[in-house]
C-alpha cells in the first residue's frame, strides 16, 4: 500500500484562517481524511464535483473522517467558499508541490482545448449550467487534480487522478474504501476499515 511520506511535509495554506501547515497534519491525530485536489476554483464542473463530494460530509463526520479540499492557487478561493458548494476545510498548495509529487496531469494549451470538447466534458458543463452552477474563466485552467483517501497512519487508501476536467471519483467508491455503508435510515461504519 502506498504511503503519504512523499507528500507529508508539503506546505498548504488554510484559506479561512490564513495559516500554513504541513499536509501531514490532516491525518495525524487519529483521523482519516478525504483530500480533494481541485482543478480550478472558478470551474463550474469543479464546483459541481465539490458540491457532490460535500454531500458526503455528514457521513464522513459520523465516521470521524475529515473532508479537505486543496486548490493550487488563491485566485477565486474566497468566491469558491462563498458559493457554498464546498462544505469541508479548504487549503491552497501555492507551489503546486503536492500536485507535482502525486503526478497529477498538467495540460498544455492544445490538449486542454481537446479536453474541453470531449463529449463527457461538454455534458458535465451543460449539467452544471442546468443546475444553476456557474463559474468564471479566472485562474490556471491547465492543472488537473484528483482525490486521495489517507488513513490515520498515513497510508494512502485511494489515489484517484483525473483524466479529464469532468472525471471525478464515484462517491460510492469513496464510501467503499472507507468502509462506510450508506442506507436510508442509518449509518453503518465498518470499524475494521476505518480504524
pLDDT for residue 194 is more than 80:
no
User: Between β-strands 89-92 and 180-182, what pairing exists: parallel, antiparallel or unpaired?
Assistant: unpaired
How would residue 41 be classed by pLDDT, with cut points 50, 70 and 90?
Answer: very high
Cell numbers 449509518 correspond to 187
Do 128 and 122 contact (CB within 8 A), yes or no?
no
* Angle value at C-alpha 131, between 66 and 119, nearest 5 degrees: 95
Cell of 41: 476554483
* Angle value at C-alpha 35, between 29 and 36, nearest 5 degrees: 165
pLDDT in tens, 168-192: 999 999 999 999 987 643 444 443 3
CA distance 109 to 22: 32
pLDDT of residue 2: 79
pLDDT of residue 186: 41
CA distance 145 to 110: 18
pLDDT in tens, 118-143: 899 999 999 999 999 999 888 898 99
pLDDT in tens, 53-69: 999 999 999 999 999 99
pLDDT in tens, 91-123: 999 899 999 999 999 999 889 888 888 899 999
pTM above 0.85, yes or no: yes
pLDDT of residue 70: 98
> What Å distances lie between residue 100 and 123, 143, 153, CA to CA?
28, 10, 23
Amino acid at each position: 500500500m502506498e504511503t503519504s511520506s512523499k507528500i507529508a511535509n508539503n506546505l498548504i495554506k488554510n484559506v479561512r484562517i490564513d495559516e500554513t501547515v504541513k499536509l501531514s497534519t490532516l491525518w495525524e491525530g487519529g483521523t482519516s481524511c478525504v483530500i480533494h485536489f481541485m482543478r480550478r476554483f472558478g470551474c463550474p464542473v469543479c464546483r459541481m464535483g465539490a458540491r457532490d463530494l460535500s454531500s458526503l460530509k455528514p457521513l464522513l463526520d459520523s465516521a470521524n473522517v475529515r473532508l479537505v479540499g486543496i486548490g493550487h492557487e488563491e485566485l477565486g478561493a474566497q468566491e469558491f467558499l462563498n458559493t457554498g458548494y464546498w462544505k469541508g476545510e479548504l487549503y491552497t498548495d501555492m507551489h503546486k508541490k503536492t500536485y507535482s509529487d502525486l503526478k497529477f496531469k498538467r495540460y498544455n494549451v492544445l490538449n486542454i482545448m481537446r479536453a474541453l470538447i470531449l463529449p463527457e466534458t461538454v455534458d458535465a458543463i451543460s449539467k452544471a449550467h442546468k443546475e444553476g452552477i456557474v463559474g468564471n474563466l479566472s485562474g490556471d485552467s491547465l492543472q488537473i487534480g484528483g482525490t486521495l483517501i489517507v488513513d490515520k497512519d498515513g497510508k494512502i487508501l485511494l489515489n484517484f487522478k483525473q483524466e479529464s476536467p469532468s472525471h471525478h471519483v464515484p462517491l460510492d467508491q469513496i464510501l467503499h474504501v472507507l468502509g462506510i455503508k450508506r442506507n436510508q435510515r442509518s449509518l453503518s461504519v465498518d470499524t475494521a476499515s476505518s480504524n
